[in-house]
Amino acid sequence: MASALAYLLWNKALAVTSTVTAGAYLYLIPVIAGIIAAVFLGEIPGFYLVAGGVMALAGTYFAGK
């Protein structure tokens, strides 16, 4: 369910931004899904989720520059 919501949010972003911009943010779907799972399902994020999330955020930031 968390991944489905993340894809729904990405599709919504694709409708309002350019394809190139939305494509750069595609890598944030696992990060958003992890946050949604932590908030709604009470899951505790592990080390690899946090480390991967930081790398995805950094990559998206640098791709936007």
Sign of the dihedral through C-alpha 10, 14, 15, 21: positive
The whole-number pLDDT of residue 47 equals 92
- What digits encode the pLDDT tens for the residues 39-65? 998 888 889 988 988 998 888 788 777
Total-model pTM: 0.62
At 6-52, the pLDDT tens digits run 788 878 878 888 877 777 777 888 888 888 888 998 888 889 988 98
**pLDDT confidence of residue 51:** 92
- The number of distinct structural domains making up the chain is 1
- Amino acid type, 13: A
Asked if 64 and 49 touch (Cβ cutoff 8 Å), the reply is no
Q: 51: domain range? A: 2-64
